[in-house]
Chain A
């Protein structure tokens, strides 16, 4: 099983985390102390392993583009979830909000030209999807921040309610003519410069923008501060409640964006297909090093966390492992990652 193919594997593992030695320069030690480094190491190991096991198939037949396209929507949802988890919240509703946004925008499309509709319809239906997400998310944020209902409960309720509404509107059936052909052909199947799928471009842009916001702006700083110690944040004058509303509205917005990407790519609302999105996305964020207790996490980590299951899935498929094993594997990786992280932190922190 662990037959080493030296060339490939070693090259892939080279930039992986090195143990912080006594004599290493400061920046190396700092990088080694970063969560992302370790998670990235796991990702590199996975890639190396599958490459070694199936050198002629992995990363060729299932090329990186395919993996990236599959991961694009989860990545967009994951970026929002990263913010929520850093403020010590949780959002179980992302998949349902995505469905509700998709259904509402599809309803508009159906009544304004259906599959043959033009860019005007695309624009309005996209706006509807985004606004639906923001409003739903903002409402949940308000319930969390002002009504003081625990986020787990608020978003669990939101999870059920949004999906229920979507089913009421559609009668439980995915409507036909839900997506404009223009949207599907341009964004769904189109590629930037004929190379990079637009889905990936959108996900990448979203990731970069919000990654920078989280890392370098006041908004990001307050997100960490509130997740770390909400009372301290309040005492220094940060409007904690308003910030929470914004954060949940942001996840809603990104769920809305995810719904547009979904419609563009799959051409259907897939009402029944998003019940486990929330868990997938939370898994990715936690794999990326975010703490469910708040205060820790990064968009970069989430990117890695999204790709670990994606690589695992692809890899197990080409190894002809029964696909249900991937859930087992992801479960084990998740728990192991968090355990190792806790272990490392306990060593670093003082009482």
Chain B
């Protein structure tokens, strides 16, 4: 069993009256795309912030490659090879794409000039061009201010920045929320490509079909806790929605008002999964999902969601 790359154990965070995280667990394995889903207010953003160093948890543990770490700032997270693509992209609109790509990680001129803090703009431009080319991003000029780029191009700049510097994990918070269909497809393609380069991707998304098409595993957060883990290849939109809303809770107390919407879209959801050649991890690092999900050998029928916290497996 591969050691998890990043692990959150029983992380709690309270904002005044609001208990955003109540002992949440989360696991990222090497070379996988793991989706983090949950309803509004489930604690996704807070969890991501604790893992990317922007928010300090009140309690709980974060482990990188099995070693407990303190993530006091985004810099700490970056030092561990963890990059984040924020939902608001966190770009400086007046700077050009190359400057944004290297923001906080500028390259300097050699020699005395560099020691005086003089930037090597040509080198940064070159490396930006390379970075965009690797992602297959079409940016005609890396020298124009980001403000004059389209939404999709800005997104690409933010993703490219994360990809260029992450060597372990990239968090992507709703990366496709503001995009059109074509660009959306391109971002998903990028996610796969990043994964294939050996960098794990954590995808936070509301779009279930999208999650199923690109993720290897799905972890579900509800009310500040991880309530289920699925293998993406063996689950469906209904199941995800059920876990998110609590309709599939072990004790079927509530007759889940899941609605017919998600159920209808399940076809669309499972189709891409089926046809996706990368659905089952080609790197062979497809370990047993944590907890009771186990090796999902049974095709057709999904592995049961794992209810409740499964500390034993961690």
Decide: A231 and B106 in contact? CB cutoff 8 A.
no
B78 touches A (CB below 8 Å): yes
B67 touches A (CB below 8 Å): no
Decide: B95 and A224 in contact? CB cutoff 8 A.
yes
Q: Which one of A218, A229, A349 lies within 8 Å of B92 (CB-CB)?
A: A229
Residues of chain B lying within 8 A (CB to CB) of residue A237: 73-75, 78, 104
Residues of chain B lying within 8 A (CB to CB) of residue A224: 92, 94-95, 99
A219 touches B (CB below 8 Å): yes
Decide: B90 and A217 in contact? CB cutoff 8 A.
no
Q: How distant is B4 from chain A, measured CB to nearest CB, in Å? A: 25
A324 touches B (CB below 8 Å): no
A216 touches B (CB below 8 Å): yes
Decide: B93 and A228 in contact? CB cutoff 8 A.
yes
Decide: A218 and B119 in contact? CB cutoff 8 A.
yes
Residues of chain B lying within 8 A (CB to CB) of residue A221: 95, 99, 103, 106, 119
A232 touches B (CB below 8 Å): yes
Known A224-B94, A229-B90, A229-B92: A235·B74 in contact at CB below 8 Å: yes
Decide: A349 and B148 in contact? CB cutoff 8 A.
yes
Decide: A295 and B92 in contact? CB cutoff 8 A.
yes
Chain B residues 75 to 100 lying within 8 A of chain A, measured CB to CB, are 75, 78, 84, 86, 88-95, 99
Decide: B106 and A218 in contact? CB cutoff 8 A.
yes
Residues of chain B lying within 8 A (CB to CB) of residue A218: 106, 108, 117, 119
Closest partner residue, chain A, to B89 (CB atom): A232
A227-258, CB under 8 A of B: which get 1 and which 0? 11101110111100000000000000000000
B105 touches A (CB below 8 Å): yes
Known A233-B103, A349-B148: A296·B117 in contact at CB below 8 Å: no
Decide: B148 and A236 in contact? CB cutoff 8 A.
no
Q: Give A295 to B54 CA distance when docked, in angstroms.
A: 24
Decide: A216 and B118 in contact? CB cutoff 8 A.
yes
Closest partner residue, chain B, to A294 (CB atom): B94
Residues of chain A lying within 8 A (CB to CB) of residue B73: 237
Residues of chain B lying within 8 A (CB to CB) of residue A219: 117
Decide: B149 and A236 in contact? CB cutoff 8 A.
no
B148-169, CB under 8 A of A: which get 1 and which 0? 1111000000000000000000
B110-124, CB under 8 A of A: which get 1 and which 0? 000000111101000
Q: How distant is B164 from chain A, measured CB to nearest CB, in Å? A: 13
Count of chain A residues with a beta carbon within 8 Å of a chain B beta carbon = 24
A42 touches B (CB below 8 Å): no
Q: How distant is B47 from chain A, measured CB to nearest CB, in Å? A: 17
B147 touches A (CB below 8 Å): yes
Q: Which one of A227, A229, A238, A350 lies within 8 Å of B150 (CB-CB)?
A: A350
Decide: A295 and B94 in contact? CB cutoff 8 A.
yes
A348 touches B (CB below 8 Å): yes
Residues of chain A lying within 8 A (CB to CB) of residue B118: 216-217
Decide: A236 and B93 in contact? CB cutoff 8 A.
no
A183 touches B (CB below 8 Å): no
Decide: A231 and B78 in contact? CB cutoff 8 A.
no
Decide: B148 and A350 in contact? CB cutoff 8 A.
yes
Q: Which one of B95, B117, B148 lies within 8 Å of A228 (CB-CB)?
A: B95
Residues of chain A lying within 8 A (CB to CB) of residue B74: 235-237
Residues of chain A lying within 8 A (CB to CB) of residue B149: 350
A279-296, CB under 8 A of B: which get 1 and which 0? 000000000000000111
Residues of chain A lying within 8 A (CB to CB) of residue B86: 235
A225 touches B (CB below 8 Å): yes
Residues of chain A lying within 8 A (CB to CB) of residue B89: 232
Chain A residues 179 to 223 lying within 8 A of chain B, measured CB to CB, are 216-219, 221
Q: How distant is A197 from chain B, measured CB to nearest CB, in Å? A: 29
Residues of chain A lying within 8 A (CB to CB) of residue B104: 233, 236-238
Q: Kindly list 9 other residue pairs between chains A and B, CB separation below 8 angstroms, not including A228-B92, A237-B74, A348-B148.
A: A224-B99, A229-B90, A229-B91, A232-B91, A233-B103, A235-B74, A237-B78, A238-B104, A294-B94
Can you name 11 A-B residue pairings with CB atoms under 8 Å?
A218-B117, A218-B119, A221-B95, A225-B103, A231-B90, A236-B105, A237-B73, A237-B104, A296-B94, A349-B147, A350-B148
